Every structure is written in C-alpha cells, then in structure tokens.
A and B are shown apart, each in its own frame.
Chain A
Amino acid sequence: MAHDPPEPHDPGLPFSDLFDFITGERWDPSSATLILIGSFLLANYIMINQLIAPWVERKVMARQQGRRGPMYVGKWGVLQIPADLLKLIIKEDLRPAGADRVGFFISVMIISVTAILSFAPLPWGSQGLIAGNFSIGILYIFAIFSVFPPMMMVGGWASNSKYALLGGFRSAGQLIAYEIPMFISVIGILAVVGSFSLLEITEDQMENGWFLFRYWGFGLIAGVIFFVAGYAETERIPFDIPEAEAELVMGPRTEFTGWRYGLIMMTEYLHLFINSLLFIYLFLGGYDPIPIPLGGVEIFGNEIISPDFAKGFRTNLGVQFVTMTAKIYLLVFVAAWFRSALARFRIDQLLTLGWKIMLPIALISTLFILGIDPEVQAFSRRT
C-alpha cells in the first residue's frame, strides 16, 4: 500500500523543515517551541559572528596599513575581541554628574535591543531557517530601524555633555538623510516581486538572477545607492561625522562607559551586519550561490553539470548557509577596506550627497526598473 505523502509544514513556522532535514524523520513540536529554538540558534550565531567580525576588520585594516593587528590574545589574536568585551563588562559603571538617569539607561537598551530584533525576519536558507517569517519582512526591519535616530538624540541629551548632544543631532540628521534614498532604491524591487518577505525576494532571484545584474544596469545603480546609504547608516568612516574624533570625541557615545559602551559597540557591528544582510538579500541573491538562473552546463553537447545537480546544489541547506556567511564576510572585508582607505566627509558634503545626489538617482533607477520589468508592464496594461 502506497503511503500518503506527509502533510507539508506550515510555511510560516521557522525551522520545522530544518529539523526534518537533519533528523530524517518528521518532527512536529509546537510552534512556540520551534520559534524559541529558531530564535535561540540564530541569535547565538549572530552574537558569535559579531565577535569575529571586528577581529576580521582589524586584521584586514592592519594588513592594509602594513601592521599585524591583534596578535597576543589567543592564536593570531582571535580572542582579542572577547577579551575586550569582558574588560568592558567588569569595568566600573560610571554615569556623568547631571545625566538624566532614565534617558541614559533606556537609550542604550532600546538601541541595542532594536538591533537584535531586526534579525528576526532574515532567512538563512530556503528550508525554514528563519526566526519569524513575517509577511511585512523588510518593512519590519525599516520600522524597527527608525527608532534608532530619536534614541541617539535622547542618549546624547541624557549624557549632559555638549559633545554628546551635538553628536546626537548630527547622528539623527544623517540617519534620516540616508534612510530615504535607501528605501526608495528598493521600492522597484519590492514592486517587481510583489512581496515584502525576504524569503520571496530571494526565491525570485533564484529563478530570475540576482537583482544587481538585472534591468540593464539600473539594478546595479539601485544596488550601489542602497549599499552606500546603508553604509552611511552604520556611521562608519567615511560617514562617521556624528563621532568625528577630532571634533566631538565620540559623539553621542562619549559618556557611555563599561557595559554601556560594550552594548553600543555591539550595536554598531550589528548594524553593519543588518545593512550587509539587507544588501545581500535584495541585490546579491540572498542564500543563492550562483548569480544567474543556471539549469545545467553543456559544452559541445556534453553535459558537464546536470540540471538536477545544479538545482540540488542551489537548494542544499549547507551550501546556502555557507554562502550567506561568505557573503557577509565579503561585505565586512569591503567595510574594513573603506575604513582604511577613505577620509571623512564634511557634514555639508554628507547631506548634499544624501539629499541632492543619491535621492534623485534612487528615484530615477526605481522608475526605470518599474518601466523595464515585463510583469509590472503587464500589470499596468491589465489595469
């Protein structure tokens, strides 16, 4: 007697397919258990990586500047960042005289918690490797991210320091100036896919190729604008105007010490991760290892790679996970490269770049993407 095919899992429930895949049997725990396990695994993966990324960055920068970078703590200095973190945690907790107690506390907490929350709808593979498959996906990330600028201002004000307050103003101005071109540059893609879910955006790219290489170069323009704007959002060199050392010491972060500073630094790297990940999902095909829709490879009639093998390779969970990690570290490398190679913008140059150059180009590229895409054209003809 033929067995009935098993009922498919609820597609929104994270990790159920993954556990089936690992154990080879069907496993049906409650949805709450699955969400807890999934969130725990992904949060730990991200936390461990955000300890490795600064080390990679420091090593890359050191090589580019003819130095050796961290060397003494652990093999090749790998444990330098965890050691720094431990030092920060056990340091005395200082609060400046006259600081606003509540504002000083909640600004740091909200900034760091929102950074961690942003990772929830990011898929790490096609087989349910996701903490929460929200239908609003990318909109959720942008929404969570928009709490960041007011909290930087609150943190700056609550520190009771002129450097911090001015840094807070600069930070909020910069973040708003770059959030808008960042969002406009992806509107075209969201309209083409017809979904906010990063899972569906990635699946579309697996079928039709990465967005960076589509639409006669306009995908590339939108991608570059998104990447630069996202990079400016992380407030790193050359966009580190809010904390410009020579002018504002450390900007809104000046008065934060000990564990608060540790959390702020963690948030900085988490922001680098989020922006890199968004760029990967929207333009670099997410967990897809091959940039073009490849069925199989034939040379002079001889099949070199069979379509089945190509499909299996692309949908293999291990390959997808390694692809994601490799792409993140590629972008961390690029970030380190920028940091050691570029000089800081002036504040007026930064705002001019955001409002007068990137915003119009983002609008134009979005309009062209919408104009070129056959599905959008068909839709407009129907209506």
Chain B
Amino acid sequence: MAFYEDPLQITFILTAIYIIICMFMVITVEKVMQSTYWLIMMLVGVAVTFLLANSEIIFAFQISIYAGGIAVLLLFAVLLTEHDDAPFPNTLSKFLRATWMQLIIFLVLAVNMIVLILDTVDKPDYLREAGGGTPNVLGDSRIPVYGDENVAGAFEITENYTLFLWDNFGPVIPFLGLLLLAALLGSVKLAIREWDIEELSDEMKAQILKSEAS
C-alpha cells in the first residue's frame, strides 16, 4: 500500500510538517518567550507521533514531563531572568559568523544520519518488520491504539517500539546525541554576552577590579 492510501501515514506526515514549522518558529521568532511557547507546541507534536506509533505510555510521559513540567521550568526561567529579546542574529552574515562551526558539525551529522536512515529502510529485515511493501515509519500499524484491554499490552507495545527503534536505527542514536551537544554549544555561544563593567553594581565592580589586580 502506498503511503498516501494509509490515513496513519498521512497523519504522520502532517504531524511531521507541523513539528518542522514549530521548530523553525522556535529559532526565528523575535522574543525568547515566543520561542518557548513554540517549543511547547513542538513537544506536543512529538507526543502525537508517539501516539501514532501506538506508544501510549511514551505519549503520556512526553506530554506530562516535556510539554508540562519542563515547559513550566523554561517559562519560569525565561520570565524571571533578564535577557535580550531577539537572540537570533538579524542578518544572515551575522548569523553565519556566530555559528559557522556549529553549522558545519550540523551538516556533517545530518548527512550522516540521512545516509544511515536510507541505508536502514532498504534492508529486507526492516521491510519485513514494517509489514512489507512501503517502509512504514510508524512501526506496526496493525496494533490498534484503541481496544487494548490490558495495561501490560501498552507496556509491551512501548517495549516493542523501543526495540524496533534500537534495532533499526541504533547507529543513528549516538549521532543524535552529538547533534544535541552541538546544539547546546551553539545556544551557549549565542546566549553568552560580554559584560560592560559600567553596567555592574559598585560592589561587583570593586570585586572584579580586585580580582584583576591580583
């Protein structure tokens, strides 16, 4: 069955487009607070993909921990600290100058990841597991989300999902970790700011002058 005949696949593609739009908004909007709520929307979208993959438990934890708990933490941090709005460099040349190293790392990792994914989805094992025919990015769509009487079943589905991901996309996962590290370093570099000594309080000024003198 082609992907456009399967409602599940269409829903997945729509969700994926939604997630990409939200991610784009996160890094391009003007205010940090706006980035935060776009990030929350993105995390909800990710939760929906878990639901589509029949992993209800991961869905519940994704929503309650990431879209709920971590989001509140981020919002408190953003609202209770002083920060510049417009953290995103406003011209392309500035952006490239600030992030050229991260961009290179990102491109290398992204190419690597795409090659690995394309390599995996061509394997006969993967095609068999995904139900033959078209590669099914959502795992086994024959397991219904509805009508799962026993809770053990839900855990089983989650376990299967994890095994499925780990078996088929195992090599990709360390690269994802590296990608996250690169993103973290990039954001630290973007957020770091050179302090002007005139802006500081007298106490701190005295302390800095003392440490410089020593």
Contact = CB atoms under 8 A, between A and B. Distances in A.
Interface string A263-287: 0000000000000000000000000
B37 A135 contact: no
A38 B137 CA distance: 30
Interface in B36-71: 36-37, 40-41, 44, 56-57, 59-61, 63-64, 67-69, 71
A209 interface: no
A22 interface: no
Interface residues of B, number: 33
Interface in A155-205: 157, 165, 169, 172, 176, 194-197
Contacts of B144: 12
A143 B148 contact: no
A13 interface: yes
Interface in B173-213: none
B37 A154 contact: yes
B67 A100 contact: no
A326 interface: no
Contacts, number: 103
B151 A194 contact: yes
A153 interface: yes
Contacts of A106: 37, 41
B69 A146 contact: yes
A143 B72 contact: no
B146 A35 contact: yes
A146 B66 CA distance: 10
A150 B72 contact: yes
Contacts of B31: 100
28 contacts: A10-B147, A12-B147, A13-B146, A31-B146, A100-B33, A100-B34, A103-B34, A106-B37, A134-B145, A135-B56, A135-B150, A135-B153, A135-B154, A136-B151, A143-B59, A143-B60, A143-B63, A146-B69, A147-B63, A147-B71, A150-B71, A153-B72, A153-B76, A153-B79, A154-B33, A154-B37, A194-B151, A195-B151
